[in-house]
Amino acid sequence: MGHDGVELLGSAAILFGTAIAVALLFRAARLPTVVGFIFAGVVIGPHVLGAIERDKIERLAEVGLVLLMFMVGLELSPKNFLRTGLRAAGVGLVHFAVTAGVIGLLAWDVHGLTAGAAVVIGVAAVNSSTAIAMKVLSDRGETDSVAGGVLVTTSLVQDVLMVAFMLGMPLLAGRVADTDSTMRLVKSTGLFVACAVTAWLVLPRAATIVSGRGGRELLTLLAVVSACAGAWAAGRMGWSLALGAFLAGVFLAESESRDVLAAEILPFRDVFNALFFMSMGMLLNMPLVLAQWPMLTGMVAITMLLKAGVGWAAVAAFGWPLRVAVVVGIGLSPLSELAMVLAAESRRLKLLDDGTVDLLIAVAVASMLLGALWFFVAPWLAGTLATAAARMGVGGASRRSVDADESGLNGHVIIVGYGLNGHNLSQVLRATRIPHCVIEMNPSLAAQATSDGCPMVIRADASRSWILGRARVTAARALVVGVNDREATRRIVAQAARMHPGLYILARTRFVSEIDALYRQGARMVIPEEFETSIEIFAHVLKEYGVADNVVEAQIEMIRAGRYRMLRGLPVVSTMPTDVIRLLEATTTQTHMLEPGSPAADRSIRDLDLRSATGVTIIAIVREGRATTSPPPDMVLRVGDVLVLVGPHAGLDKSRAALSAPPAALADEAQDVTA
Per-residue pLDDT, 668: 47
CATH number for the domain formed by residue range(s) 403-523: 3.40.50.720
Between CA 204 and CA 226 the distance in angstroms is 11
**Is residue 303's pLDDT more than 80?**
yes
Of all residues in the chain, the percent with pLDDT exceeding 90 is: 6
Between CA 577 and CA 574 the distance in angstroms is 7
Q: Which position has the higher pLDDT, 396 or 99?
A: 99
**Is residue 378's pLDDT more than 70?**
yes
CA-based angle 594:600:606, to the nearest 5?
125
**Of 139-153, 299-313, 319-333, where does the model show the most confidence?**
299-313
**Is residue 640's pLDDT more than 80?**
yes
* pLDDT tier for residue 505 given thresholds of 50, 70 and 90: very high
For residue 505, give Cα distances in angstroms to 43, 333, 336, 446. Answer: 51, 36, 41, 22
Give first-to-last CA distance, the chain, whole Å: 79
**Strand 457-458 relative to strand 436-439, pairing:** parallel
- By three-state DSSP, how is residue 477 classified? coil
For residue 16, give Cα distances in angstroms to 12, 23, 303. Answer: 6, 10, 32
Q: Which position has the higher pLDDT, 532 or 266?
A: 532
Q: Left if phi > 0, otherwise alpha if psi is -120 to 50, otherwise beta: which for 470? A: alpha
Sketch the domain layout of the chain as residue ranges: 3-384, 403-523, 586-675
Please state the φ and ψ torsions of residue 629, each to the nearest 5 degrees. Answer: -85, 150
Q: Which position has the higher pLDDT, 70 or 500?
A: 500
**Of 67-71, 248-252, 347-351, 609-613, where does the model show the most confidence?**
609-613
Average pLDDT, the chain: 76
Query: Per CATH, is 3-384 categorized as 1.20.1530.20?
Result: yes
Between CA 253 and CA 200 the distance in angstroms is 10
Average pLDDT score over residue span 5-25: 78
Dihedral sign for Cα atoms in the order 527, 533, 537, 538: negative
For residue 225, give Cα distances in angstroms to 194, 249, 468. Answer: 19, 11, 55
For residue 20, give Cα distances in angstroms to 24, 34, 385. Answer: 6, 12, 38
**Is residue 54's pLDDT more than 80?**
no
Residues 534-588 pLDDT 10s: 777 777 777 666 666 666 776 676 666 666 555 555 555 554 445 444 544 556 6
CA-based angle 151:156:159, to the nearest 5?
125
Name the DSSP class of 635.
P
Q: In terms of C-beta density within 10 A (0-12 exposed, 13-18 middle, 19 or more buried), how is residue 597 classed?
A: middle
**Is residue 185's pLDDT more than 70?**
no
Residues 422-463 pLDDT 10s: 888 898 888 888 889 999 887 778 888 888 888 888 888 888
Q: How many CA atoms lie within 13 A of 99 on its CB side?
A: 32
- Sheet harboring 436-439: ordered strands across? 457-458, 436-439, 413-416, 478-481, 504-509, 525-528
Per-residue pLDDT, 153: 75
- By three-state DSSP, how is residue 629 classified? strand
Q: Of the given ranges (92-106, 224-238, 386-400), which has the lowest mean pLDDT?
A: 386-400
**Of 36-40, 53-57, 204-208, where does the model show the most confidence?**
36-40
Per-residue pLDDT, 675: 44
Q: Of the given ranges (138-147, 227-236, 622-631, 652-661), which has the lowest mean pLDDT?
A: 138-147
Between CA 462 and CA 520 the distance in angstroms is 19
Average pLDDT score over residue span 586-598: 78
For residue 369, give Cα distances in angstroms to 220, 308, 459. Answer: 33, 15, 35
**Is residue 399's pLDDT more than 50?**
no
* pLDDT tier for residue 595 given thresholds of 50, 70 and 90: confident
Q: Of the given ranges (38-42, 308-312, 566-570, 663-667), which has the lowest mean pLDDT?
A: 663-667
Per-residue pLDDT, 439: 92
Per-residue pLDDT, 674: 40
For residue 76, give Cα distances in angstroms to 156, 157, 181, 322. Answer: 7, 10, 33, 28
Dihedral sign for Cα atoms in the order 561, 564, 567, 569: negative
Q: How many other CB atoms are there within 10 angstroms of residue 260's CB atom? A: 15
Average pLDDT score over residue span 232-252: 75
Please state the φ and ψ torsions of residue 87, each to the nearest 5 degrees. Answer: -65, -45
Per-residue pLDDT, 408: 60
Per-residue pLDDT, 415: 93
- R_g (Cα) of the chain, nearest Å: 32
Per-residue pLDDT, 416: 93
Per-residue pLDDT, 580: 44
Between CA 142 and CA 375 the distance in angstroms is 13
* pLDDT tier for residue 177 given thresholds of 50, 70 and 90: very low
Per-residue pLDDT, 530: 67
Fold of 586-675: Alpha-Beta Plaits (3.30.70)
Residues sharing a CB contact under 8 Å with residue 537, sequence separation 6 or more, in sequence order:
none
**Strand 617-623 relative to strand 504-509, pairing:** unpaired
* pLDDT tier for residue 413 given thresholds of 50, 70 and 90: very high
**Three state DSSP letters for 555-621:** HHHHHHHCCCCCCCCCCCCCCCCHHHHHHHHHEEEEEEECCCCCCCCCCEHHHHCHHHHHCCEEEEE
Q: In terms of C-beta density within 10 A (0-12 exposed, 13-18 middle, 19 or more buried), how is residue 510 classed?
A: middle
